Amino acid sequence: MERITRNGRVGQVDATIVPRFAGPPTFARLPRIDEVSDVDVAVLGVPFDAGVSYRPGARFGPAHVRESSRLLRPYNPAQDVEPFNLQQVVDAGDLGVNPFSIDEAIGQIETGARALLERAGRLLTVGGDHTIALPLLRALHAQHGPIAVVHFDAHLDTWDTYFGADYTHGTPFRRASEEGLLDQSGCLHVGIRGPLYSVQDLVDDVELGFQVVHSREVDDLGIRGVIEKIQARVEDRPVYVSVDIDVLDPAFAPGTGTPEAGGLTSRELLAILRSFAGTNLVGADLVEVSPAYDHAEITGIAAAHVAYELISAMAPRP
């Protein structure tokens, strides 16, 4: 298989030789992890959705995002960077986790992430539902200590329990805060909107260490204003970016489990994500893509570009 190879790094299958609709089904048609020796960034799939509270189907998200990533190209003009040239990016495949036991699955995800981080500098994890953020943060905390989380989502995901369950896609950041995984002086939600159970949800969220940029604020602040709020909050802390695709308006991401009207546009989200190129970005996830509710790959394409911008932001600048 003809691949683009530069600076000793193995890149994408060459699209001038192998058409984009052919070739390997890896993310962006990048090499598998077993095809290279050194790894800077690993794209890891976690097909798990036992923690969802409404529409299921995010277990099929990793495969859908990979299929939607075939058009990604080697040069990112918005960031003026060749992300696959400046760092070795690979597809690490999927973790196989228990689809029936959330507790066991969380343990398997943490173990798998820790093992992969022994080889790869950073992970870009594609879910799956948002439950997976907790074990990923546990694995990263072991390396970096308390982490500033910038969380893009329609929902806070700091609720306590659902039907008595402590671990669901609506609770990962409460559990992470309670476990001391977060740098509570550096955490921020972006894109929050829609009805809440009560005003206490916002009170609890502050106590857990989060500030909020509501979706309705984006029009007044503008993209630059949102970026400035993020940078002022994060500073030089180790930062983890968690993107629930439902931060986008359903017009831009219909294929998700808990859609809410009034969200960000894909252009706004991608522009904000580019600002992480200047931060200490230690990892990221992209979750809640549910292909059964997608059509024409609208959600998958948006998600693939989110992943591309995050990988580009991880690239060292010459």
Question: Residue ranges per domain, the chain?
Answer: 3-314
Closest CA to 288 of 250, 314, 261: 250
Q: What is the DSSP letter of 317?
A: P
Length of the chain: 318
As beta bridge partners, residue 287 has: 244
Residue with tokens 């394409």: 301
CATH of domain 3-314: 3.40.800.10
Q: What is the DSSP letter of 215?
A: G
Tell me the mean pLDDT per 10 residues along the chain, length 318.
84 93 95 96 98 97 98 97 97 98 98 98 97 98 98 97 95 98 98 96 97 97 98 98 98 98 98 97 98 97 98 93
Element (H, E) at 168: none
d(CA 88, CA 66): 18
pLDDT score recorded for residue 269: 98
Helices H / strands E in the chain, number of each: 8, 10
Q: Is the dihedral of CA 224, 194, 210, 45 positive or negative?
A: negative
The phi, psi pair for 240, rounded to 5°, reads -120, 130
Does this model's pTM top 0.85? My answer is yes
